[in-house]
Structures are given as structure tokens and as C-alpha cells.
Amino acid sequence: MKFLKMALDADFLLFILGIFWLDIAGYIQNSIATCNPKIFGFVLAVVVYKIIKCIVSRKKHKRKK
């Protein structure tokens, strides 16, 4: 049960993305863009990081009410 709680944590998701991000970004980049994969991967990682942090902060804010 403790593992499931950890799997739903934003930090754990960011850790998994950190491990596999270049593979994921390379696949997405080859599918939709023709730009440099390293630049595309960096920009996409920043966007995903912001989305995850935004979602987590909203959940924490709702819990405090």
C-alpha cells in the first residue's frame, strides 16, 4: 500500500520522467517535430514539470480548506 502512495506522488513521477525522459522526448519529437531532439526534450520537460507541479499544488491547496 505504501508503494501505491509513493507511485502517485509528484516527486516519484518526476523521478521516473528523469530516468526515461530522453527516450520519451525522442519518440514524441520524431512523431511530431523536426527540430533538434535535445532542445525539444528540454522544452517539453519544463512544460511537463510545470503541469505536474501545478496539479500537485492545487491538490494541496484543496486539502487545506
Question: What are the cell numbers at 36?
Answer: 533538434
Q: How confident is the model at residue 8 (pLDDT cuts 50, 70, 90)?
A: low
Q: What confidence tens digit (pLDDT) does each residue in 10-63 have?
A: 777 788 888 888 888 888 777 776 777 788 788 889 988 998 888 888 766 666
- pLDDT of the residue at 63: 63
> In degrees rounded to 5, what are phi and psi of residue 14?
-65, -35
| pTM: predicted TM-score of the whole model, two decimal places | 0.48
Q: How confident is the model at residue 2 (pLDDT cuts 50, 70, 90)?
A: low
DSSP one-letter code for 18: H
